[in-house]
Structure 1
Amino acid sequence: MNDTDLLEELVELARLAGDEIMQIYAKDFAIEFKNDDSPVTEADLAANRVITAGLQRLTPEIPILSEESADISWQERQTWQRYWLVDPIDGTKEFIKKNGEFTVNIALIEQGTPTMGVVYAPALNICYLAAQSIGAFRECDEARIELKVTQKAQQGTIKVVGSRSHPSPELADYLAQFDDVEMVPKGSSLKLCLVAEGEADVYPRLGPTSEWDTGAGHAVAKIAGATVTQIDGSPLTYNQKESYLNPYFVVSRLKA
């Protein structure tokens, strides 16, 4: 299957998972908590089943790592050169609050780098999709536009996208480098996508995230032309260590 067909299949799969999610979103649902106190709902599990089954059908040879099935040993994972990285619902807290800012994330990771990704926000009916060999796009109401980041000088008002659910005390120190800042609050991996479409200039993540939170949005932002780096400027990579936790990172369209 070529990249174009595979990307379209991923979009369809994300939309199917979104349909499952929205059926549960529309009613009262149970909330449970994992060992790390993060919430999980029946919608997370239903979406995970849809996505996992779909990926196994499309690419049975490619392993899958999902937030809801992450109990895979480092001994096994470190042999993977190519795998699917899935977060069935990124922004479960936003889902519970019913503010619409949650996403379905599916990314293809190759040699530690996201090369394809879909970020679908079912409550907003917005889908971001990207593949290294094709480009990055935003789809809304069946209209699809290509995303190409234009660099911005570090002058004037800098739009900084931040988390609704995870404000970070280190953020004030980071923002001190800019003369004027406008904060753009947003939940889930939509934050990375806002930089990709030029609605924000920079997204500094100075708080905890896991690899499945960022893989798909990283693909969209990077393929659109934004930089996605650790604080020290080195690349943000995946499956290069035993822990699933990301280091702090910055997504930017600002000129260095």
Structure 2
Amino acid sequence: MVFPFGQLKTMSPSLDLEKTLATLRPILWQALEQLRQFYRQVKHLTVQDKGGDPVTLADQTIDAFLRHALQAHFPASQFGYLTEETYTPGQPLPQPYQWIIDPLDGTSDFLQQTGEYAIHVALVHDHRPCLAAVVWPEQEVIYTAIAGAGTYRETRWDSTQLRVQPPNEGRPLRVVMSRSHGGEHLQAFLSTLGVIQQIPMGSMGCKTASICQGDADLYVNLTGGSAPKDWDLAAPDLIMQEAGGAFTYANGELPRYNCADVQHWLPLVVGHPALSRWVGDRLQAFLAENQSYSGK
């Protein structure tokens, strides 16, 4: 199978990102199959509480599988491993590259069997992703991106490049919404955007993929008692950016990864760049007028 990647913008002369993705791809398909097997037996999984978030044997098994499979090709001397299931607070990983992994993004949706759960894998260099994959098991699709080379929607048979399109002025603004997060401040802000259609959706990776392939227009995140982490954002970030979209804080800044704090407290806006700038400006003004709301 040939995947038509464009001209690469090499992040480091020592690492061939296209070859790296070729190594990663079969590992992701194996992880997809394993996670789907757990999904078919979800009613029998024991659910543990991890800081207010559910965690299951599926999270732990896929995490271990991805780490061990990647470490066989990418040694820990050069590649750090920051994963949701093994993270402990501390200093940034010192290796030149860091794999940032969420083995099961959208565990609540996984347990509710909405089908909107994903695997996130990103390779980070100098605090920004240079390679990323979002796996949507129930769609049997993998979204991949290399910095400077575009975003692709890959099935077992073909690959299609994705480009984020501006909203259609003749229809409501389609906003993907979390089923388990949000709140009154977000609803109050969205009401200022005019006519919108709210689309409930699980994983951050699924939300981003939906925007990239034209099924939605916008995602806005306002943190409350918790904030998204590096493993929630790093892979969807590059997927959106390389599809020509924007994945930024409301002030237009890009998120940075593998820093001292893996939490991202600033409001996040995701969508077409023109829409993102407009929404980001309105969101900053809204928050300034409603100072009773604090992101942390």
**Fold match, TM over 0.5?**
yes
Greater strand percent: which structure? 1
The one-letter amino acid paired with 1:69 is T
The one-letter amino acid paired with 2:47 is I
Q: Which residue of 2 aligns with 1:252?
A: 271
Closer, same or farther: CA 155–206 of 1 in aligned 2, 3 Å = farther
| 1:71 and 2:88 correspond | yes
| 1:82 and 2:101 correspond | no
- RMSD of aligned Cα (Å): 1.9
| 1:5 and 2:19 correspond | yes
Deviates more, 1:147-156 or 1:89-98: 147-156
> What per-residue deviation string (whole Å, max 9, x for no partner) do you get for residues 108-145 of structure 1?
11111112111111122121111114210112352311
Q: Which of 46, 51, 58 does residue 66 from structure 2 map onto?
A: 51
Count of matched residue pairs: 252
Q: Which residue of 2 aligns with 1:127?
A: 142
Closer, same or farther: CA 153–113 of 1 in aligned 2, 3 Å = farther
Q: Which of 238, 251, 261 does residue 243 from structure 1 map onto?
A: 261
| 1:136 and 2:151 correspond | yes
TM-superposed deviation, 1:65:
0.3
Structure 1 stretches lacking a partner, 5+ long: none
TM-superposed deviation, 1:103:
0.6
The one-letter amino acid paired with 1:126 is V
> What per-residue deviation string (whole Å, max 9, x for no partner) do you get for residues 23-48 of structure 1?
222221111112x1211111111101
TM-superposed deviation, 1:8:
2.6
Name the CA distance, whole Å, in 2 between partners of 1:12 and 1:169. 42
After TM superposition, list the pairs within 5 Å mapping 1:225-240 onto structure 2.
225-240=244-259
Q: Which of 37, 48, 52 does residue 52 from structure 2 map onto?
A: 37
Deviates more, 1:177-186 or 1:49-58: 177-186
The one-letter amino acid paired with 1:118 is A
Closer, same or farther: CA 243–9 of 1 in aligned 2, 3 Å = same
TM-superposed deviation, 1:155:
7.6
Asked if the contact 2:79–2:96 (Cα under 8 Å) also holds between the matched residues in 1, the reply is no
Q: Which residue of 2 aligns with 1:192?
A: 208
Closer, same or farther: CA 9–169 of 1 in aligned 2, 3 Å = farther
TM-score by length of 2: 0.79
Deviates more, 1:135-144 or 1:157-166: 135-144
1:58 alignment partner, SS class? coil
Name the CA distance, whole Å, in 2 between partners of 1:198 and 1:67. 29
Closer, same or farther: CA 233–91 of 1 in aligned 2, 3 Å = same
Greater helix percent: which structure? 2
Asked if the contact 2:247–2:254 (Cα under 8 Å) also holds between the matched residues in 1, the reply is yes
Asked if the contact 1:155–1:179 (Cα under 8 Å) also holds between the matched residues in 2, the reply is no
Asked if the contact 1:81–1:112 (Cα under 8 Å) also holds between the matched residues in 2, the reply is no
| 1:17 and 2:18 correspond | no
> What per-residue deviation string (whole Å, max 9, x for no partner) do you get for residues 130-172 of structure 1?
1114210112352311011233477852111111222332222
Asked if the contact 2:105–2:118 (Cα under 8 Å) also holds between the matched residues in 1, the reply is yes
Higher Cα Rg: structure 1 or 2? 2
> What per-residue deviation string (whole Å, max 9, x for no partner) do you get for residues 45-91 of structure 1?
110111001111121121110001101521xx164542110000001
| 1:209 and 2:225 correspond | no
TM-score by length of 1: 0.91
| 1:26 and 2:40 correspond | yes
Asked if the contact 2:83–2:100 (Cα under 8 Å) also holds between the matched residues in 1, the reply is yes
